[in-house]
C-alpha cells in the first residue's frame, strides 16, 4: 500500500483578541490526493491571554492548549475524506477530548483547464460544549488557487453557521481568508490574511 505522508506542526500563541478557530489555523490549498495516498497534519496552539472565568458551559481559555490531528485520505483524484480529532487542556489538568470533525474534499480536475484551480472543503463539526458553545457546526470553504511564475495566491471565501446551539440564530457568517506565497526552490515564505466574524465571545473568530 503506497502512501504520501505530510506532517505539518504549527505552534501559535493566541490572544484574547484572536479571530481564529482555536483548534484550527489553516487555509486550504488545491491539494488533491489519489487513491491510497494520505496526509497527516497537526495543529498546535496555546491561548496566551484568554478568558479567566467560565462562560456558561465553556471553560476558561486563558493558557488553554489545543492540539488537533488531521488525517486525510485520497478516495479518487477529485475526492478525499479528512477527519479532525480535537484535544485541549488547561494548566494543571489532564488533556481532554474536545470533539471531532469530518471534512469531505472536492477538486475540479485540472484537465478542465480553468483559469483557477478550484476545490471545496466542507467541514462538519461535533464538539464538546465545554470548548464550543455550539455542539454542531458546518463550514463551506471554497478553494480558489492561482499560481504565477513567482507567486501563489489562494482564496478561501468561507461560509459557516451553527447547526445546534445558541449560535443558530446568527445564521450564516462570511469569513474570507487568503494566502500569498513567494515561490522559491528551497524555502517559500507565505503570509495569511484572516477575517474576524460575528461569533460568540468564546470563539472570537471566526482561522
pLDDT band, very low/low/confident/very high, at 63 (cuts 50, 70, 90): confident
CB of 181 closer than 8 Å to CB of 152: yes
Q: What is the pLDDT of residue 54?
A: 78
Q: What is the pLDDT of residue 4?
A: 55
pLDDT tens digit sequence for 22-40: 788 789 999 999 999 999 9
30, part of any domain? yes
Beta strands in 21-171 (DSSP E): 38-47, 65-76, 79-89, 96-107, 117-127, 136-147, 151-164
CB of 96 closer than 8 Å to CB of 127: no
200, part of any domain? no
pLDDT band, very low/low/confident/very high, at 1 (cuts 50, 70, 90): very low
Domain that includes residue 23, residue range: 7-194
Angle, vertex CA 122, rays to CA 121 and CA 127, nearest 5: 130
Q: What is the pLDDT of residue 78?
A: 97
206, part of any domain? no
Dihedral sign for Cα 133, 56, 176, 152, please.
negative
pLDDT band, very low/low/confident/very high, at 13 (cuts 50, 70, 90): low
134, part of any domain? yes
In the predicted model, what is the mean pLDDT of residues 190-196? 83
Dihedral sign for Cα 75, 140, 26, 65, please.
negative
Q: Which of 34-38, 48-52, 61-65 has the highest mean pLDDT?
A: 34-38
Instruction: Using only the alpha carbons of the chain, give its radius of gyration.
Output: 17
98, part of any domain? yes
For 23, residues 6+ apart whose C-beta sits below 8 A from its C-beta are: 43, 66, 68, 84, 86, 88, 98, 131
- If one counts the domains in the chain, the total is 1
93, part of any domain? yes
Provide the grid cell at 77: 483524484
Among 160, 192, 161, CA closest to 177: 192
In the predicted model, what is the mean pLDDT of residues 94-116? 96
pLDDT tens digit sequence for 140-189: 999 999 999 999 999 999 999 999 999 999 999 999 999 999 999 999 99
First to last CA, the chain: 34
The predicted model scores a pTM of 0.83
Q: What is the pLDDT of residue 31?
A: 96
Q: What is the pLDDT of residue 189?
A: 94
Distance CA 128, CA 126 (A): 7
In the predicted model, what is the mean pLDDT of residues 73-89? 97
Judged on CB neighbours under 10 Å (0-12, 13-18, 19+), 68 is: buried
Percentage of residues in the chain having pLDDT higher than 70:
85
- The DSSP bridge partners found for residue 174 are 159
2, part of any domain? no
Amino acid at each position: 500500500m503506497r502512501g504520501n505522508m505530510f506532517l505539518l506542526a504549527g505552534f501559535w500563541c493566541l490572544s484574547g483578541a484572536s479571530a481564529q478557530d482555536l483548534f484550527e489555523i489553516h487555509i486550504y490549498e488545491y491539494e488533491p490526493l489519489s487513491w491510497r495516498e494520505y496526509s497527516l497534519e497537526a495543529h498546535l496552539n496555546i491561548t496566551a491571554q484568554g478568558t479567566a472565568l467560565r462562560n456558561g458551559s465553556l471553560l476558561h481559555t486563558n493558557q488553554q492548549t489545543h492540539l488537533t490531528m488531521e488525517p486525510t485520505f485520497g478516495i479518487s483524484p477529485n475526492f478525499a475524506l479528512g477527519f479532525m480529532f480535537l484535544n485541549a487542556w488547561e494548566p494543571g489538568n489532564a488533556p481532554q477530548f474536545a470533539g471531532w470533525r469530518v471534512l469531505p474534499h472536492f477538486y475540479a480536475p485540472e484537465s478542465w483547464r480553468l483559469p483557477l484551480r478550484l476545490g471545496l472543503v466542507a467541514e462538519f463539526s461535533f464538539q464538546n460544549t465545554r470548548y464550543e458553545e455550539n455542539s454542531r457546526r458546518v463550514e463551506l470553504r471554497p478553494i480558489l488557487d492561482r499560481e504565477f511564475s513567482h507567486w501563489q495566491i489562494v482564496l478561501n471565501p468561507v461560509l459557516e453557521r451553527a447547526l445546534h446551539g445558541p449560535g443558530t440564530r446568527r445564521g450564516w457568517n462570511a469569513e474570507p481568508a487568503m494566502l500569498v506565497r513567494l515561490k522559491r526552490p528551497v524555502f517559500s515564505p507565505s503570509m495569511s490574511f484572516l477575517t474576524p466574524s460575528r461569533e460568540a465571545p468564546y470563539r472570537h473568530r471566526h482561522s
